[in-house]
Structure 1
Amino acid sequence: MTPSVSPPGPHPAPSGRPDGSRALPRVVIVGAGFAGYQTARHLSRSLRGRAEIVLLNPTDYFLYLPLLPQVTAGVLEPRRITVSLPGTLRHVRLVLGQADHVDLDGRAVHYTDPEGTEGTLTYDRLVLAVGSVSKLLPIPGVAENATGFRGLPEALYLRDHITRQIELASAAGNPAECTSRCTFVVVGAGYTGTELAAHGKMFTDALVRKQPAWPAGVKPRWMLLDVADRVLPGLDESLSRTADEVLRGRGVDVRTKTSVKESKPDGVLLDDGEFVETRSLIWCVGVRPDPFVSELGLPVERGRLVVTPQLGVPGHPDVFACGDAAAVPDLTRPGEFTPMTAQHAARQGKVAARNVAASLGLGEEVPYKHNDLGFAVDLGGVKAAANPMGVKLSGAVAGAVTRGYHLAAMPGNRVRVAADWLLDAALPRQAVQLGLLRSWQVPLDTASPELARIPAGPGGDHGTRGGGNSKE
C-alpha cells in the first residue's frame, strides 16, 4: 500500500484476496520507537511469513534518542542516529502515517499520511507503541518561548539556533546583548537535560574560539535548572555526584531546587526572583505519554494505557501495548509500574512480539520482568558517568563503556557513528547554520515531536496533531 498515491478520502488497506478477506492474519504496530521497533523486528523473525506485519509510523526511520544531544552539539550528523525501517525490517510493511483513531470494535486504525490523505488499516492483532512527548507545566510563556528536545527536528533547529546566537553575540553592539545571546537555559536535569548542557557548553566554547572578534571577558553561559535537590535525581547518587562535578568543572551553572516562574522572549524569571536575560530556553523537564493513548477510551494510569504483565489490554485480547504509552506492572517492584526509559521500552517490545506470536498459536506468552542493568550518562569528550551491573565508573573508563553500550544498543549505523566520534576527536567541528527549520516548525506543545510543522495547505496542517508557538 502506498498512501501517497491513494485516492482522497478513507480507503481500506489492500488485502490478499479479491473478496477483501486476508490470506494471513495482520499485525499492526503503531509507532516505531524503541518498543515498536523491537516488536516489529522480533515478530518478523518469529512469525517468518505466518502473518502480515504492518508498521504505522510518521517517519521512515527509528530514532536512537540517547544520542540526540550529540547531534545538537555537532558531534554526530543527524542521519547517524536514524535507522532505516525498510532497510532493517525486511519482512515488515511500512505505512507512513500518523494514527488518528482506533476503532476497537471494528478492529481498524485510522490514520493520515504525510500528504494529508486519510487511510484505514484493519488488524487481527494491534500493538500500541506510540511513545511519549514533552511534559508541559502551566508556566506562563513556556509554550510560546521554549524549545523541546524529543525529536530530530528540534535537535537540528537547536544546532542552528545555538550557532546563530553565538555569531550574533560576536557582532553585538553592546556587552549586554552579547551576554544575553550567549546564555542558554536548560530546564530539567534528568538524562536529556544533563547531557545537553554538558555537550552544549563544549560546543559553544568551540564556536567562540572561531570568532576573531569575540568580546574579551565574555564567555558562553549554560544554566541547568531542576526542582530536585541534585542532578539526575532518579539515578544513583554516585552518578549524580560525578555528573555534577563534570558540569561545574566545565563551567555550567547548575541550579538545584530552582525552576522557571515565567518565560519571556528576552529572558526567564526564576522562582527565586532572579531574571536571566536569554534568547534560549530549552525544555527538558521530562516526558508524558502520547495523548493519543488517552483518547482511546480505555483505562489509563497517569496517561499510560493499563496493561497486564503480559502487555495485553484487559478486555481486548487482540490489543497489546508497550513502551512509554503503557503502564506495565513492575514485577521486580510490586505495586509499581516500570519507568518510562528506553531500556524498558526496548525489552518490552521483545516480550510484546513473543506474546503476539503466542496469541497467533506460536509459542507461549510470558510476563514482562526486567531488572535494571545500570545506566550510562555521556557528558561529552571522554567524560561520562556509568554503573553497568552496579559497578560505579567515571572519567575516561566510563566514557568508553558508555559509547560501547550505545554502539551495542543501536540496531544500525554503528560504523558511521564510530567514525564520527573518531573524526570529532581529531578535527574541529563544523560551525555552519543550515537554516532548514524555524522555531515555529518545532512547537513545544505538540503531540508529534518527530515531525516538523509544515505550512497549512489545501488539506490543512498535517505536520502535528496540535500545538504551536511564536518564538520567531
Structure 2
Amino acid sequence: MSRASHRPHVVIVGAGFAGFQAARTLARLARGRADVTLLNPTDYFLYLPLLPQVAAGVLEPRRVTVSLSGTLKHVRLVLGEADGVDLERRAVRYTGPEGERGELTYDRLVLAVGSVNKLLPVPGVAEHAHGFRGLPEALYLRDHVTRQIELAAAAPDAATCRARCTFVVVGAGYTGVEVAAHGQLFTRSLARHQALRAGIEPRWLLLDIAPRVLPELDRRLSTTADRVLSGRGVEIRTGTSVKEATREGVLLDDGDTIDTRTLVWCVGVRPDPLVAGIGKPLERGRLVVDPFLNVPGHPEVFACGDAAAVPDLAEPGEFTAMTAQHAWRQGKVAGRNVAASLGVGRRGAYRHHDLGFTVDLGGVKGAANPLGVPLSGPLAGAVTRGYHLAAMPGNRVRVAADWLLDAVLPRQGVQLGLVRSWSVPLDTASPELARVPGGPAAPGGHPAPADARSHEHEPKPEE
C-alpha cells in the first residue's frame, strides 16, 4: 500500500475488540479510498472471554486467536508496540518484535490500545502474583497449576502438599470468577490421577474487597455465581484483600495467612499507559473523547475501547464501562466515523443498549441475563457458549469441537514448559507478549535476563 497513491492513510493502533472491529468496518466501507494500517504486537486478535478455558485445558490456545492478516483483507499489518504519539507531526512511534524502531505517519488515527493489569501498592504482589490479560499468562497458569498438583503428590510433608494444592484468586469480577470456576474443575480432574496425601484436596479461594462476587453485574448473576462456586467448595471471602504476598503465601488484611504457591491477580484493568503520554485530558487514565469518539481539538484522531473515556449518552455525566461489549461496538462506530471523515457515509454518536451479560462457570453451569432475563444452570451455560460462538469472528467450528471433546474425554494433565514465570511479569504494559531471553523489553515491561536460557529448565522458587 504505497503512499504514492496519495490516498488518505489511516493508522489503527491495537487489535483488541475495538481495534479489530474498527479495522474490519473501515476496510469494508473505505475500500479503495484509504490505505489502512493496523499496528499490533501480535498477528492475532485474542478472544479474551474464553481465556479461562485455555488456562483450564478446555480449549487449545490457538482456538481463541483469530489471524489478523487472514481475516482483515485490504488491511496492512505492522507488528510492533506503540511507544508514543506525536499529534503535531501526525506520527506514531513503535518498537518492532526484534527491537527495531519505526514510525507510521497518518491522516487519520484510531487509538484502540486497550488495557493492562491493574496494580495496587501491595508488598510482594508484583514479584509473586501473575495477571490474566494475555495468552502467555493463560499458558503459564495452565502449566503452573498442573505442576503444583504434581509437586504436591511428591511433597515430603503434609504442609507442603497442602500449600501446593492451595490456589488464591484475587478479584471476584468477571475474570476472577471464571478463573476460579474453571480452575477448581481443572485441579479436581488433575487430582484424580495423582496420589495426594489422605485428606488433602485442591483448595481454591476467591477474594475481593467488594461485598459480593461480580459486584459490577446484576445481583442475580452474583447470587448464581456464588451458589455454584460455593457448592463446588470454592472459598469466597468478600470484604477481604491481600496485605502482603511472599514466595510461600499471602497475608490477608484480616490477619489470616494462607500458605500457597499460586496467586492469580484479577483485580481489574487500567488503561494502557500509552494514552497518558499524549498530553490530552484524561479521565481516570482514559483519553477523553466526545460522543463521536473524536479527541477534542483533533478531528483526525479517534479513540475507542478501554483506553477511551466515552460519554455514556444513556447516563448523562457518566462514561461507558471498560467492557468487551462496549469496545466491540465502539470499534464499529469508530470505523464508520473515520469512513465518514473520508466522505463515505455519515458519522454518528456512540449509543448503546444493554444486551445483558453471560458468565461461564465451567462444566455445564453458567449465569446469564440476556435482554434482562435471568438464567442459571445448564440453560445459562448453553446461552453463554452460544453467545461466544456467535461473537467470535473465527474458529467457531474448532472451539465447538474442543467443547465436544472435553465433554467426552479426560483432559490432558501435562505441562509443556513453554512459558516461564519470568516471562509473564505482572507489572507490564504488554501482557499479550511473553518476555524472551535477552529480548527487547516492551514499553513499560521487563526484559528477561540475558542468561535466562541457560536456567530455563531449572525449577524456580516461585513456580
TM-score, normalized by length of structure 2?
0.96
* SS of structure 2 residue aligned to 1:431: coil
* CA deviations over 1:252-273 (Å, ceiling 9, x no partner): 0100000100001000000000
Give the Å deviation of 1:101.
1.2
Q: Which amino acid aligns with 2:102?
A: G
Q: 1:218 aligns with which of 193, 200, 215?
A: 200
Instruction: Could you list the structure 1 runs, at least 4 aligned residues long, displaced by more than 6 angstroms after superposition.
Output: none
Q: Is the 8 A contact 2:429 2:442 kept in 1?
A: no
How do 1:121-160 and structure 2 match up within 5 A? 121-160=104-143
Q: Which residue of 1 aligns with 2:285?
A: 303
Give the Å deviation of 1:139.
0.5
Q: Which residue of 2 aligns with 1:60?
A: 43
Q: Which amino acid aligns with 1:279?
A: R
Task: Using the aligned pairs only, state the percent identity.
Answer: 74
* CA deviations over 1:114-160 (Å, ceiling 9, x no partner): 01111111100000000000100000000110000000000000000
Q: Which amino acid aligns with 1:381?
A: G
Q: 2:158 aligns with which of 175, 180, 192?
A: 175
* SS of structure 2 residue aligned to 1:29: strand
Quick one: distance in 2 between partners of 1:399 and 1:49?
Answer: 43
Matched, 1:365 2:347: yes
* CA deviations over 1:160-194 (Å, ceiling 9, x no partner): 00000000000111100000001000000000000
Gaps of 5+ in 1: 1-13
Q: Which residue of 2 aligns with 1:118?
A: 101
Q: 2:263 aligns with which of 251, 275, 281?
A: 281
Q: Which residue of 2 aligns with 1:235?
A: 217
Q: Which residue of 2 aligns with 1:328?
A: 310
Matched, 1:195 2:178: yes
Quick one: distance in 1 between partners of 2:436 and 2:261?
Answer: 23
* SS of structure 1 residue aligned to 2:306: helix
Q: 2:275 aligns with which of 274, 293, 297?
A: 293
Matched, 1:465 2:444: yes
Quick one: distance in 2 between partners of 1:317 and 1:242?
Answer: 45
Give the Å deviation of 1:234.
0.6
Q: Which amino acid aligns with 1:438?
A: R
Q: Is the 8 A contact 2:435 2:446 kept in 1?
A: no
Give the Å deviation of 1:396.
0.5
* SS of structure 2 residue aligned to 1:305: strand
Q: Which residue of 2 aligns with 1:4?
A: none
* CA deviations over 1:209-234 (Å, ceiling 9, x no partner): 011x2212101000000001100001
Q: Which residue of 1 aligns with 2:432?
A: 450
Quick one: distance in 1 between partners of 2:441 and 2:372?
Answer: 45
Give the Å deviation of 1:425.
0.2
Q: Which amino acid aligns with 2:320?
A: T
Q: Is the 8 A contact 1:444 1:468 kept in 2?
A: no
Q: Which residue of 1 aligns with 2:301?
A: 319
Quick one: distance in 2 between partners of 1:81 and 1:185?
Answer: 25
Q: 2:328 aligns with which of 342, 346, 361?
A: 346
* SS of structure 2 residue aligned to 1:292: helix
* SS of structure 1 residue aligned to 2:273: coil
Q: Which residue of 2 aligns with 1:29?
A: 12
Quick one: distance in 2 between partners of 1:437 and 1:154?
Answer: 8
Q: Which residue of 2 aligns with 1:10?
A: none
Q: Is the 8 A contact 2:438 2:447 kept in 1?
A: no
Q: Which amino acid aligns with 1:256?
A: T
Q: Is the 8 A contact 2:173 2:268 kept in 1?
A: yes
Quick one: distance in 2 between partners of 1:355 and 1:105?
Answer: 21
Relative to structure 2, which stretch is displaced further, 363-372 or 240-249? 363-372
Quick one: distance in 1 between partners of 2:192 and 2:447?
Answer: 35
Matched, 1:43 2:26: yes
How do 1:72-91 and structure 2 match up within 5 A? 72-91=55-74
Quick one: distance in 1 between partners of 2:57 and 2:3?
Answer: 47
Quick one: distance in 1 between partners of 2:82 and 2:337?
Answer: 23
* SS of structure 2 residue aligned to 1:147: coil
How do 1:12-27 and structure 2 match up within 5 A? 15-17=2-4, 22-27=5-10
Quick one: distance in 1 between partners of 2:447 and 2:233?
Answer: 33
* CA deviations over 1:87-134 (Å, ceiling 9, x no partner): 100111100011011111111111111011111111000000000001
Give the Å deviation of 1:454.
1.7
Q: Is the 8 A contact 1:445 1:468 kept in 2?
A: no
* SS of structure 1 residue aligned to 2:3: coil
Q: 2:75 aligns with which of 83, 92, 96?
A: 92
Matched, 1:259 2:256: no
Q: Which residue of 2 aligns with 1:384?
A: 366
Q: Which amino acid aligns with 1:281?
A: L
Give the Å deviation of 1:49.
1.6
Give the Å deviation of 1:468.
7.3
Give the Å deviation of 1:464.
5.4
* CA deviations over 1:20-56 (Å, ceiling 9, x no partner): xx42111100000000000000101111221001000
Q: Which amino acid aligns with 1:382?
A: V
Q: Which amino acid aligns with 2:408?
A: A
Q: Which amino acid aligns with 1:268?
A: V
Q: Is the 8 A contact 2:41 2:79 kept in 1?
A: yes
Quick one: distance in 2 between partners of 1:293 and 1:181?
Answer: 40
Q: Is the 8 A contact 2:369 2:375 kept in 1?
A: yes
TM-score, normalized by length of structure 1?
0.94
Q: Is the 8 A contact 1:452 1:464 kept in 2?
A: no
> Aligned residues, how many?
451
Quick one: distance in 2 between partners of 1:61 and 1:15?
Answer: 24
CA RMSD of aligned residues (A): 1.2
Gaps of 5+ in 2: 449-460
Q: Which amino acid aligns with 2:129?
A: A
* SS of structure 2 residue aligned to 1:224: strand
* SS of structure 2 residue aligned to 1:411: coil
